[in-house]
């Protein structure tokens, strides 16, 4: 009986995950053009490794990884502040979370205007006398990745805040009461109770966001810069998409897909180890 119940789900998984993963491995060893069939060994990987655009793309993904600590710390701070239930905290919480439910293309296109050379960010800088800091945030190859990162943080922050708040709500009151009786101040309470209690959730968030930075940023880049200027904001997903669908170079796209999968797997394994005990199904 149980097998019957899980069968449809398993069928989908095999179809949508199993088949592609196997195929991507196989294709990565085949001829680069659409005319498939002939094996070229590691030539596709060789091509990819020789391609500066690939390294630029991978480098950009790695750069984005460094945004995760920033995101986590800020989300933590905001969550802690809101948890103290300052006036209007519910409104703040809703507003901070709103970007997360908006579609990424919508946010991306809007930010293209906001970050334009004569967009509001620069206008504000000019208005307060910091006009010298006004830049072409998305057009300058050196600034485009940090700018995109800022948009990613803008959106993912809400998720983090919500996550931390939800977990904080279930921290037992007695712990705090006991600490206050012992004379612990705000900082001590944060350091010795809140953060340790949040450890699992923080690590969950960090791993999820690390994976996001590797594999779920296509929409941001596509809607804001398309990978430009001059590949400065290309990321691995974009690279795969371009080689797969614009150039029909299936072998090459598959090779990069395999590399991306391997990189992501590292984080998947980490996540499994962290949450492994939580997925154990006990006997009823």
Q: What is the smallest separation between the CB atom of 178 and other proteins, expressed in angstroms?
A: 23
CB 225 within 8 A of CB 148: yes
- Running DSSP on this structure, what letter comes out for residue 131? G
Binding of other proteins at residue 20 (CB under 8 A)?
A: yes
Q: Is 217 helix (H, G, I), strand (E, B) or coil?
A: coil
Select the residue interacting with other proteins from 65, 112, 184, 190 (CB under 8 A): 112
Q: Is 81 helix (H, G, I), strand (E, B) or coil?
A: helix
HSE at residue 110, side-chain half, CA atoms within 13 A, is 10
Cα gap 247→222, rounded to integer Å: 17
Which string of x and - marks every residue 145-184 that binds other proteins (by CB under 8 A)?
A: ---------x---xx--xx--xx--x--------------
Q: What is the smallest separation between the CB atom of 263 and other proteins, expressed in angstroms?
A: 9
Q: What is the smallest separation between the CB atom of 183 and other proteins, expressed in angstroms?
A: 18
Closest by Cα among 76, 50, 282, 29 to 190: 76
Angle at alpha carbon of residue 186, lines to 185 and 189, rounded to 5°: 85
Q: What is the smallest separation between the CB atom of 181 and other proteins, expressed in angstroms?
A: 21
Q: Determine if the peptide bond prior to 229 is cis (ω within 30°).
A: yes
Select the residue interacting with other proteins from 71, 208, 213, 233 (CB under 8 A): 208
Q: At which residue do the structure tokens 């920033």 appear?
A: 70
Q: What is the smallest separation between the CB atom of 20 and other proteins, expressed in angstroms?
A: 4
Which residues in the 125-144 window bind other proteins by CB under 8 A? 136, 138-142
CB 139 within 8 A of CB 51: no
Which string of x and - marks every residue 234-263 that binds other proteins (by CB under 8 A)?
A: --xx--xx--xxxxxxx-xxx--xx-xx--
Binding of other proteins at residue 197 (CB under 8 A)?
A: no
CB 54 within 8 A of CB 239: yes
Binding of other proteins at residue 39 (CB under 8 A)?
A: no
Choose the stretch contacting other proteins; rule: CB under 8 A; options: 63-71, 172-180, 188-196, 228-236: 228-236
Q: What is the smallest separation between the CB atom of 262 and other proteins, expressed in angstroms?
A: 10
CB 36 within 8 A of CB 27: yes
Which residues in the 74-103 window bind other proteins by CB under 8 A? 78, 81-82, 84, 86-89, 91-92, 94-103
**Which tokens in the block code for residue 178?**
């006991």
Choose the stretch contacting other proteins; rule: CB under 8 A; options: 62-70, 177-185, 189-197, 264-272: 264-272
Binding of other proteins at residue 270 (CB under 8 A)?
A: no
């Amino acid at each position: 009986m149980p097998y019957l119940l899980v069968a449809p789900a398993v069928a989908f998984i095999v179809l949508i995950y199993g088949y592609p993963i196997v195929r991507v491995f196989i294709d990565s060893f085949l001829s680069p053009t659409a005319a498939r069939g002939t094996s070229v060994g590691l030539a596709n990987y060789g091509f990819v490794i020789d391609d500066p655009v690939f390294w630029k793309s991978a480098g950009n993904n790695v750069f984005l990884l460094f945004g995760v600590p920033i995101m986590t710390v800020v989300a933590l701070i905001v969550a802690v502040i809101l948890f103290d239930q300052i006036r209007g905290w519910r409104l703040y919480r809703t507003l901070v979370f709103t970007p997360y439910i908006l579609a990424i293309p919508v946010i991306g296109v809007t930010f293209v205007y906001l970050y334009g050379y004569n967009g509001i960010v620069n206008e504000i800088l000019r208005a307060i006398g910091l006009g010298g800091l006004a830049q072409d945030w998305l057009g300058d190859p050196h600034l485009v990745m940090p700018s995109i990162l800022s948009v990613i943080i803008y959106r993912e922050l809400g998720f983090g805040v919500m996550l931390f708040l939800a977990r904080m709500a279930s921290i037992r009151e007695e712990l705090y009461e006991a600490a206050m009786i012992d004379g612990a101040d705000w900082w001590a309470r944060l350091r010795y109770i809140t953060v340790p209690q949040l450890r699992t959730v923080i690590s969950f968030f960090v791993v999820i966001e690390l994976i996001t930075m590797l594999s779920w940023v296509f929409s941001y880049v596509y809607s804001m810069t398309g990978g430009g200027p001059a590949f400065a904001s290309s990321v691995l997903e974009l690279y795969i998409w371009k080689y797969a669908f614009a150039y029909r170079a299936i072998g090459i796209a598959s090779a990069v897909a395999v590399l991306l999968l391997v990189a992501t797997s590292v984080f998947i394994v980490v996540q499994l180890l962290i949450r492994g005990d939580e997925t154990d199904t006990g006997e009823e």
